[in-house]
Structure 1
Amino acid sequence: MQFFNSRLVIAGGALLLASACMPISRNHGFVVSKEAPGDIEAGVDTKTTVLSKYGNPSTVGVFEKDKWYYMSELREQLGYLRPRTKTRTITAVAFKDGVVDDVSIYTIKDGHVVSIVGRKTPTRGRELSIMQQLLGGVGRLPQGTLGNDQNLPGGAGGPRRQ
């Protein structure tokens, strides 16, 4: 009986450890249904019908206001490792005069890696220390106006009564 209990505990522990290795899947963005891209027809659907079928777009083109993007992404995380993107789909719907002109579907294979440039743009002038920045404005108020001008710090702060 004791042998059976120890095997049960070992099996339970192995099951618990195996469940920790199961990937955690997370959907981000617009979840595309199986028939989603096919149900929008160029020349037939309008902005209103696309809104009723897909809802609000994930983003709208910055320079092309008549281009809507529906983005979705599936990420999986295994244990303590970093999440990995399994699938990414971007559905771009282009409109012309309020009617669908084109529907394009992009996947993770269509993406490009953008390298970030670490250079700095030089600025004119001199670099100030922290003390120069803090004390740089001390004594720069015009002479004889402190208390007389309502727009300066320490001024009256409103219209004067006569």
Structure 2
Amino acid sequence: MGISSKAGMTGRARALVAMLLIASVAACAPIYRNHGYVPSQEELDEISVGDSRATVDEVIGAPTTGGMMGEGDYYYVRSRVKRLGMLEPKEIDRQVVAISFDSNDGVQNIERFGLERGRVIALNRRVTSSSVEDKTFFRQLMGNLVNFNPSQFLGSSE
């Protein structure tokens, strides 16, 4: 009776160690979570610069995030977060599709941005020409100061 009792305990101990080992390995497996929605490239290809806001709503749908003023522009955002054990979750992928509209609610720009090494990069864009394209705020400000004519400000004519 003593021998079979020891064998039974050893089997239980082995089962307990195996369960603890499996639980610890499972706890170290990464968990991925996806948040948000970004339309596919095929869906974006159905929209052209100049199409109406209603066309965008019909083809892609209105986003949950919009511009701050009035009807505003459309922003579709998707992110992927990786959590590994007790470590802090880390965002490993983010994509943003920005569709901006002109004053007549026509599509003006369609841009897709991504996240690479913590920096936002433009993946692709369909942009109409603009005088402020690819200029920083500081460059625009300095350009306006250079074009400043004091005689216009003072009301004198030449």
Q: TM-score, normalised by structure 2?
A: 0.54
Partner of 2:75: 69
**Is structure 2 residue 95 aligned with structure 1 residue 89?**
yes
Aligned length: 111
Q: Matches of 1:54 and 1:21 in 2, distance apart?
A: 38
Secondary structure (helix, strand or coil) at the match of 1:75 reads: strand
Q: Distance in 1 between matches of 2:76 and 2:39?
A: 12
C-alpha contact (below 8 Å) 1:93/1:102 kept by paired residues? yes
Please give the secondary structure, in 1, of the residue aligned with 2:57. Answer: helix
In the alignment, which of 111, 120, 123 is matched to residue 120 of structure 2?
111
Q: Could you tell me the TM-score, scaled by structure 1's length?
A: 0.53
1:36–1:58 Cα change, 3 Å? farther
CA distance in structure 1 between the partners assigned to 2:19 and 2:13 by the alignment: 10
Displacement of 1:88 in angstroms is 0.8
- Name which one, 1 or 2, has greater alpha-carbon Rg: 1
CA distance in 1, matches of 2:100, 2:111: 8
Output the CA distance in 2 between the equivalents of 1:56 and 1:33.
Answer: 11
CA contact (8 A) 1:67 1:95 kept: yes
AA aligned to 1:94 is S
Higher strand share: 2
Is the counterpart of residue 11 in structure 1 residue 18 in structure 2?
yes
- Aligned partner of 1:80 among 83, 86, 89: 86
Partner deviation per Cα, 1:101-137 (whole Å, 9 max, x = no partner)? 321001113439xxxxxxxxxxxxxxxxxxxxxxxxx
1:41 matched residue in structure 2: 47
Long gaps (5+) in structure 2: 1-6, 122-158
Within the candidate set 47, 60, 66, 1:60 is matched to 66
Query: Is the Cα–Cα contact under 8 Å of residues 42 and 102 in structure 1 kept in the other structure?
Result: no
Matched residue SS, 2:21: helix
State the secondary structure of the residue aligned to 1:41.
Answer: coil
SS in 2 for 1:69: strand
Per-residue CA deviations over 1:32-58 (Å, capped at 9, x if unaligned) read 354465344213643123223433324
Query: What is the distance in 1 between the residues matched to 2:44 and 2:70?
Result: 23
